């Protein structure tokens, strides 16, 4: 009964989210390009996030709807990493910056950053590697104005792969940190 209810709620949330998952899916298709510094993968958002950098306190804070608006950069939630690296690449700075600003403007908002790794190597060591990735993203967000208490860095290691293949394309897809807002 509870499970049925959970499933219904999940379906509803999925419907609400609409194409929230689409950008990452497209990013998955373009995986071979990910390592090259050619700008953000997938479509560039038609409407970039409002520039809040100059005077964030007087800007009208973005509502939660922006988080799932496919036209908003805040709907993009995945940061991809090179092999054996926890460096947040330049192409993901706009995404990390947008979420950091959102957190700054919405002090009640909380996120979890989930670090992931590819399937190679020890499961426990990979939990630690994924943790390092999620903490790298957290650190950058804190430098950009988010508070530490708003961000919990956790790791799934290699346990929850998005791509299940055993090749470089799948591995690249799984070397990733995902941003999940509380209540999502």
Partner 1 sequence: MPTDIIRPMKTRWLRRLSCAVAILLSFAPLFPAHAALTIEIIGTGATQLPIAIVPFRAEAGLPQAVTPVVASDLARSGLFRLVDSGGLNPLPHDPQDLNFSIWRARGADAVVIGTIAQLPDGRYDVRFRLMDVTRQLQLTGFAFTASAAQLRLTAHRIADVVYEALTGAKGVFSTRIAYIVKKGKRYELQVADADGYGAQMVRWSDEPILSPSWSPDGMHLAYVSLERKKPVVYVQSLMTGQYQAVANYWGSNSAPTWSPDGKRLAVVLSKDGGSQIYFIGTDGKGEPRRITFTSAIDTEPNFSPDGELLLFTSDRGGSPQIYGMPVKGGEARRLTFEGSYNVSPRFSPDSKSFTFIQRNGGRFNVAVQDLATRQVQVLTDGVIDESPSFAPNGRMILYATEVRGRGVLSAVSSDGRVKQRLTEEAADVREPAWGPFPK
CB of 40 to partner 1, least distance (A): 27
Which residue, among 78, 153, 146, 75, has the nearest Cα to 112 in the 3D structure?
A: 153
Q: Which of residues 160-179 bind partner 1 (CB under 8 A)?
A: 160, 166
Please write down the long-range contacts of 122-126, taking CB distance under 8 Å and 24 or more positions apart. Answer: 123/157, 123/158, 123/159, 124/157, 126/157, 126/158
Does position 147 interact with partner 1 (CB under 8 A)? The reply is no
- Opening angle at CA 46, ends 43 and 48, nearest 5: 105
Here's the x/- map for partner 1, 94-123, by CB under 8 A: it reads as ------------------x-x-----xxxx
The residue from 38, 125, 143, 147 that contacts partner 1 (CB under 8 A) is 125
Least distance in angstroms from the C-beta of 33 to partner 1: 24
| Binder among 128, 143, 147, 168 for partner 1 (CB under 8 A) | 128
What does each C-alpha distance from 120 to 31, 129, 150 come to in angstroms?
Answer: 18, 11, 31
Interface with partner 1, residue 131, by CB under 8 A: yes
Min separation Cβ 81 and partner 1, Å? 15
Q: How many residues lie near partner 1 (CB under 8 A)?
A: 24
Question: Applying CB under 8 A, does 25 fall inside the site for partner 1?
Answer: no
State which residue, 70 or 154, has the beta carbon closest to partner 1: 154
User: Contact positions toward partner 1, by CB under 8 A?
Assistant: 112, 114, 120-125, 127-129, 131-132, 135, 152-157, 159-160, 166, 180
């Amino acid at each position: 009964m509870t499970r049925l209810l959970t499933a219904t709620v999940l379906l509803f949330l999925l419907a609400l989210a609409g194409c929230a998952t689409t950008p990452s899916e497209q990013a998955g298709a373009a995986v071979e390009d990910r390592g090259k510094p050619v700008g953000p993968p997938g479509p560039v958002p038609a409407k970039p996030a409002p520039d809040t950098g100059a005077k964030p306190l007087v800007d009208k804070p973005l509502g939660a709807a922006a988080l799932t608006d496919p036209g908003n950069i805040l709907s993009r939630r995945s940061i991809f990493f090179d092999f054996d690296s926890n460096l947040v690449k330049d192409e993901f700075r706009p995404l990390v910056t947008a979420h950091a600003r959102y957190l700054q403007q919405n002090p009640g908002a909380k996120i979890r950053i989930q670090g992931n790794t590819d399937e190679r190597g020890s499961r426990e060591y990979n939990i630690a590697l994924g943790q390092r990735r999620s903490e790298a993203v957290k650190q950058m967000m804190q430098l950009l104005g988010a508070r530490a208490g708003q961000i919990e860095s956790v790791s799934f290691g290699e346990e929850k792969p998005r791509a299940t293949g055993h090749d470089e394309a799948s591995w690249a897809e799984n070397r990733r940190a995902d941003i999940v807002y509380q209540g999502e």
